Amino acid sequence: MIGAVKRRLNSANFADERAGEMVASRSFWADAGRRFLRNRMAVFSVGMLSVLVLFAIFGNLFSRWSFEEIDWNVLGRIKQDGGPSLENGHWFGVDELGRDLYARVVQGTRTSLLVGFIAGPVSVILGATLGALSGYYGGRFDRTVLGAYTIWLAIPYIIFFVVWQAFFGRSMSQMILVIILVNWTAGLLIVRGQVMMLKNREFVDAARMLGMSDLAIIFRHLAPNVLWVVVIYTSLVIPEVIMMESLVSFLGVGIQEPNTSLGALLSEGASTMTFGTLWQLGFPAAIFVLAQVSLFYIGDGLRDALDPKER
Amino acid sequence: MLNYTLRRLLMVIPTLLILVIFAFYLMRLAPGGPFTSERPLPPAVMANVLERYGMDEPLYVQLWTYIKNIICCFDFGPSFAQKDRTVNDVIAQGFPVTLTYGFWSAVFVLALGVPLGIIAALRHNGFWDYTMTGLAIFSQIFPNFVLAPLLVLLFTLSWGLLPGGGWNGGQWQYIVMPAIALGTSYMASVARLTRGSMLEVLGSPYIRTARAKGLPERTIILRHALKPALLPTLTYMGPVFVYMITGSVFVDVFFSTGGIGQDFIDGAYSRDYSILLGLAILYAVLTFALTLAVDLLYAWIDPKVRAGLS
């Protein structure tokens, strides 16, 4: 052990190696990236999630059926002939109405991931911006935002969500919009706290003395310093949003047929499981769980890599 | 303390007002209504129906009448879709059901979550600790709407032990699965939280002093460590109740318990304005009441918090 260290210290290119290491970027993000890559489960989960994304985008290429086509050959004999089979091209079997479940799962995964990856980040950006503004300005604006926040938390979101969905259309864009509205508080408090702490630091004073405007200070100088919080929070909100969407779809006020989402498929599968067509529950459930597992471990890895408290 | 309670109670009024006004206008702005059907009613009949329910007046007048009736006579109006029933009837029928299994679910969360957390902390890095971590991850990945079908699959379809839905006057067999489906994920969070704070307390100097005095381990844990370790768990129960109220909508629908969640979803489909508003108010009041109760309990237990309030 000691011998190895000595050998390394005395080796001809040791000085060059060290210098190279120092010159190479050791920024916070490079450091965090290195820590994240060391977390095997997180890296594996990124791979798993990528496979799911590819499945959602290109899965249709391997399907012999479209997601709304009814296979009249198996309709009425779904319990006997509707199961997963390689012969008739229904890799995952068919659903209750004789439509190809594989194509529908691809479609549902696409919907759920799209909703999660659009609505999640957008609502965190919204919440974080509000939090940064209210932390920076303080005073009446801060009190108003906090008051609205408290009131909002006291109302179970499901009320708002279900009523909105049932009354105003059931399209994907509506779904994304309402999720953003429901989640506007995401990350608000924590970013507000961070900004309140940072705004008294010297570099902010310096920027102000240079004559920068408040908004420029917030978005140029404070934003990079709270970015890690936003990234962690986004990784927590995305699976939560996917879950929200699935819950609402399960309740029957999700995206309009024939389009579908993982929650809607789960709901259909759960309603037919008494008839013994378990694949209708199993495949959507497996994909859903896979997505949640990988998002969970990615979030975990990001937290370990970015949060200074975890180091 | 009294001051604080009053201030919190006063907060309820504007919040409920905002909720009612917002929900009222949101619903009315949407196209369609409780009386639109595939075969439209003749205009004369429609006018009569609208008049009967007071819907021919301008919106703000209707809103005013609605709020006035609630304040003066606790009258939440008639249901639009369910003939001959008032909102009060619907709530009186469905709410006890939701409350019953909600209560048992909370009991399940605390009775299992807290001991599990304590054991995991005492056996740090042991079998129970890992079991609990596994459970925590499991509950994150299997939310109630995935867990509930799995429960039915196991307990009803495979083993035939429990009925897969219904209520039957609240016999215990009908309560078990709704309570478990509603509570599991919060049970795991409670366990994780208890474990964390217990570990922290066990590492603190006064526990070392107690050990140095030679107190038996039992006394140290039950007498000295338990109470402070449970404080974070207690604060967490506030949000847990809120989430459980949210989750109960799903449980009512999935297990056909006949609770208010089903009425809520049906109301959303049939544009039953009064049912939706009434239930929204009920959910919000429930949220307030439970969070306030938890906060007061917290102040009662923790002298530091109590001092901060007054």
- List the single residue in B with minimal CA-CA distance to A244: B143
Token digits for B273?
A: 């304005």
Please write the tens of the pLDDT for every residue from A31-58.
Answer: 888 888 888 888 999 999 999 999 999 9
CB contact under 8 A, A154 and B287: yes
Q: Which residues of chain A does B264 touch, with a Cβ-Cβ cutoff of 8 Å?
A: 159, 162
Test the A interface: residue of B13, B18, B146 with most A CBs within 10 Å? B146
CB of A37 less than 8 A from some CB of B: no
Distance from the A83 Cα atom to the nearest Cα atom in chain B, whole angstroms = 18
B30-to-A245, B65, B200 alpha-carbon distances in Å: 21, 21, 52
- Using a CB–CB cut-off of 8 Å, the residues of B that contact A are 11, 14-15, 18-19, 23, 26-27, 30, 32, 137, 140-143, 145-146, 148-150, 152-153, 157, 164, 242, 245-246, 249-250, 253-254, 264-265, 268-269, 271, 276, 279-280, 283-284, 287-288, 291
A-B contacts (CB, under 8 Å): 108
Q: Is the pLDDT of residue B24 over 90?
A: no
Q: Which of these, B29, B232, B296, lies nearest to A167 by C-alpha position?
A: B29
Q: Where in chain B is the domain with CATH 1.10.3720.10?
A: 93-309
Whether A154 and B288 lie within 8 Å, measured CB to CB: yes
Residue A25 scores a pLDDT above 60: no
Contact B196, B204 (CB under 8 A): no
SS in 3 state form for chain A? Answer: CHHHHHHHHHCCCHHHHHHHHHHCCCCHHHHHHHHHHHCHHHHHHHHHHHHHHHHHHHHHHHCCCCCCCECCCCCCCHHHHCCCCCCCCCCCCECCCCEEHHHHHHHHHHHHHHHHHHHHHHHHHHHHHHHHHHHHHCHHHHHHHHHHHHHHHCCCHHHHHHHHHHHCCCCHHHHHHHHHHHCCCCCHHHHHHHHHHHCCCHHHHHHHHCCCCHHHHHHHHHHHHHHHHHHHHHHHHHHHHHHHHHHHHHCCCCCCCCCCCHHHHHHHHHHHHHHCCCHHHHHHHHHHHHHHHHHHHHHHHHHHHHCHHHC
Q: Percent of chain A having pLDDT more than 70?
A: 93
- How much is the pLDDT for A234? 92
Q: Which residue has the higher pLDDT, A127 or B51?
A: A127
CATH for B93-309? Answer: 1.10.3720.10
For residue range B124-147, list pLDDT tens digits in order: 888 888 888 888 888 878 888 888
- Closest chain A CA to residue B248: A158
Range B175-186 average pLDDT: 90
Is B214's pLDDT higher than 80?
yes
| Chain A: closest CA distance from residue B32 (Å) | 8
Instruction: Kindly tell me if the per-residue pLDDT of B148 is higher than 70.
Output: yes
| Mean model confidence pLDDT for chain A | 85
> Is any Cβ of chain B less than 8 angstroms from the Cβ of A149?
no
Helix B127-141 vs helix B172-202: crossing angle, to nearest 10: 120
Closest residue on chain B to A240 (Cα): B140
A177 touches chain B (CB under 8 A): no
**Residue A188 pLDDT > 60, yes or no?**
yes
Domains annotated on chain A, with CATH: 45-310 (1.10.3720.10)
Nearest C-alpha of chain B: how many angstroms from A37? Answer: 21
Higher pLDDT, A68 or A1: A68
Select the residue of A153, A159, A289 nearest B146 (Cβ to Cβ). A289
